[in-house]
Amino acid sequence: MGASVAWHLAQLGLTNIVLLEREAQLATGSTGRNAGGVRHQFSHPANIDLSLESIAMMARFEEVVGTPIDFHQDGYLFLLSKAAHVATFLKNVQLQKSRGVDVQWLSPAEAQALAPGLDVTGVKGATYCAADGVADPNGVTVGFAKGAQAKGAEVIRDTEVTGIRLDGNRVVEVQTSRGHIATPLVVNAAGPWAKAIGRMCGIDVPVEPERRHIFIASPPGGSSWDEGANTGRVPKNKLLVIDFDTSFYFHREGGGLLFGMGDPDEKPGFDITVRWDFLPKVIEVAMQRLPALADAAVSHAWAGLYEMTPDHNPIIGPSSEVEGFYTIAGFSGHGFQHAPAAGRILADLITGRDPKFDLAPFTLDRFSGRIVAGEANVV
C-alpha cells in the first residue's frame, strides 16, 4: 500500500515524499507472505470496483510501471456446498455482472472440467471468473517503489516509525529510529500494524492481526505435478480454487501446489510461527477436494498476518480528528490485489483531486457509528 501510494503521488508530481520501512527489505510484511490471488468476485460493490481498476492495471503493469509481475489470468473458481452460500453467490453473480464483471455460474460437473483432479462431492454449484488470477506481490511492490524513486521519492529501509508529533490537531513531524522528519502529512500504510501507528496520534485504527498459513505441496517422488504418473492429478494452469464452506484454497506454484485454509480458532495476534499441528486439519479437508494431496509431501510452509477490520472492508482516507493523518490499511486479507486502485484513490485525495470513487464504505469514521454491511467473501 505504501509503495502504491508513493508511486501514484509521484506520478501526480508530488515527489517530496519518503516511504519508511522498518525491515531491511520492502514487502516482508503481509505482502511478502500472501498467495498472490487477484479476483473480481467480491460481495461488496466497492471491492468489485477496486478489483476492476486494480486488475486492469496489473494487466498493463510492466508497460505502465516498468516491472514484470508474472501475471496470469487463469481464473478463480468458488465451490459452494451449502444452500445458503448458493443463494448468496447467485446474488453476488448478479451484482458482479451489473458492474461489468464477466462471471459465470457453473454446475459441479462444469467446475470439475475446469480443474483436473478436483472432487466435487457435495458441491451444489460454483462461480468462475476467467479474468481473475495471480500475480507476484514482490514484483508489484518493488515496481511501485522503484517507479516512485525514479521520479524523486525516497525509500528508506531499516527505519522504524516510533512517533508522530502533533501541533494542536495537526501532524507536524514523524519520529523514527533514525531521526525526525518534519511533515504536514503522514500516511499510515502499516498493514497489520496500522493500529499502533494510529495510537501515535491518539486515533483508533481498528485493525487486528490474524495469522494465516500457506503450505507448498510436492507430488510423491518430489518432482513436478506435470510429470509422469502425477500428470492430470492437479490443474496444470494457475486456476485458484476455493472451497468456500471451509475456506480451503489452492493454486499451482511452479512445479508445486500452494494451498491454505483459515483456522476458525485462530485468535488475533502477531505470532507468525507455523503451527504444524494445524496442517492435519487442513489436509483432512484438502484430501476430500483434491485427492492428490493425500500422498503429497508438504515441502515448506509459512504464516503471515491478515489485517482485519470489524466489517472486513479497508480504511482509505483522512482522519477527521487529526489533520494530515491518512490511513490505507485493514484490507482484511485481500489487500495485495487492491493496492493499485487504493493507492491511486488516496493519492488523488491527498493532492485534492476527485478520486471518482464513493469512499463511504471505507472511511475511518464509519466505525464510530453503526457498522454498515461489509465484505462477506473473505477466504
Ligand X SMILES: Cc1cc2nc3c(=O)[nH]c(=O)nc-3n(C[C@H](O)[C@H](O)[C@H](O)COP(=O)(O)OP(=O)(O)OC[C@H]3O[C@@H](n4cnc5c(N)ncnc54)[C@H](O)[C@@H]3O)c2cc1C
Residues that bind ligand X (CB under 6 A): 1-2, 20-23, 28-31, 33-37, 160-161, 189-193, 212, 214, 260, 304-307, 329, 331, 333-337
Which triple of cell numbers denotes residue 119? 472432487
Closest CA to 157 of 10, 21, 270: 21
295: which residues sit within 8 A by CB, 6+ positions away?
A: 220
- Burial (CB count within 10 angstroms: exposed 0-12, middle 13-18, buried 19+), residue 141: buried
| Min CB(160)–ligand X separation in Å | 4
Nearer to ligand X, 123 or 339 (CB): 339
Query: 326-349: string of b/e by CB count within 10 Å (b at 16+)?
Result: bbbbbbbbbbbbbbbbbbbbbbbb
| Min CB(83)–ligand X separation in Å | 27
Nearer to ligand X, 37 or 125 (CB): 37
274: which residues sit within 8 A by CB, 6+ positions away?
A: 213, 301, 302, 303
| Min CB(228)–ligand X separation in Å | 30
Nearer to ligand X, 233 or 241 (CB): 241
> DSSP letters of 303-353?
EEEEEE-TTS--EEEE-SSSBTEEEEE--TT-HHHHHHHHHHHHHHHHTT-
| Min CB(373)–ligand X separation in Å | 20
DSSP 72: B
| Min CB(201)–ligand X separation in Å | 13
Nearer to ligand X, 58 or 93 (CB): 58
Nearer to ligand X, 19 or 233 (CB): 19
| Min CB(65)–ligand X separation in Å | 16
Nearer to ligand X, 89 or 331 (CB): 331
| Min CB(296)–ligand X separation in Å | 19
| Min CB(229)–ligand X separation in Å | 30
CA dihedral 202, 346, 315, 166 (to 10 degrees): 0
Dist. CA 199–CA 195, nearest whole Å:
6
**Chain mean position to CA 207:** 14
Nearer to ligand X, 1 or 290 (CB): 1
| Min CB(101)–ligand X separation in Å | 16
Nearer to ligand X, 114 or 205 (CB): 205
Dist. CA 251–CA 256, nearest whole Å:
9
Q: What does DSSP say about strands 186-188 and 170-176: parallel, antiparallel, or unpaired?
A: unpaired
Nearer to ligand X, 120 or 145 (CB): 145
Q: What does DSSP say about strands 104-106 and 315-318: parallel, antiparallel, or unpaired?
A: unpaired
Question: Is-contact 173 161, C-beta < 8 A?
Answer: no
Which triple of cell numbers denotes residue 307? 489485517
191: which residues sit within 8 A by CB, 6+ positions away?
A: 1, 29, 30, 31, 207, 305, 307, 329, 335
